[in-house]
Amino acid sequence: MEQRGSPDRTWYLVLEGVTDVVTRSRDFTRRALTAWHWLPAEDPDDLDAAEDVLLLVSEVVANACLHGGGPGSLYLDCTEDRLRIEVTDGNPAPPVRPPPGQSRRPGRPGGHGLLIVERLSRGWGSQPWSGGKSVWVEVACPSPVRRMWAGS
């Protein structure tokens, strides 16, 4: 596992060949959120925002495991306005959310990951990337983060 980053605005984690990628991605993201002053959060709404980011990372990384042949990397880019989460995988097919009321796997739990992503993010999408795709998600930054970047 290769990890690059600083308290500055971008953090990058290589996930190819790594086991327990969801847990490692969440731990990596938690460290970045701490460096960017999302955590520890004094305001319950800011704590909820940080928990939402961890859930979004879990969903996108898990989807790369289930549908993309495994994640290649996790990229976090934080600005004064937003946090962008990107996960790469080796499947060029874009993610597809099942129609409302329908699960990907009838009779089995799951199939709701992209619905969660849509509800918690201010936007998401995918783009071709080196033999596969990159799935990105963006969320608004809480006020302590906006203040931190505005003061830099």
User: What are the structural domain ranges in the chain?
Assistant: 3-150
Compute CA distances 13 → 1, 16, 55, 78, whole Å. 7, 9, 17, 15
**pLDDT value of position 143:** 81
Q: What integer pLDDT is reported at residue 115 of this predicted model?
A: 87
**pLDDT for residue 41 is more than 50:** yes
Q: Which of 39-43, 82-86, 115-119 has the lowest mean pLDDT?
A: 39-43
Q: Which CATH number does 3-150 carry?
A: 3.30.565.10
Q: In this predicted structure, which of 65-79, 84-98, 104-118 has the lowest mean pLDDT?
A: 104-118
Q: How far apart are CA 25 and CA 15, in angstroms?
A: 8
Q: Is 6 helix (H, G, I), strand (E, B) or coil?
A: coil
Q: Which residues contact 56 (CB under 8 A, 6 or more apart)?
A: 85, 116, 117, 120, 121, 137, 139
pLDDT at position 5: 46
Query: Is the model's pLDDT at 108 over the cut of 90?
Result: no
Quote the percentage of the chain above a pLDDT of 90. Answer: 59
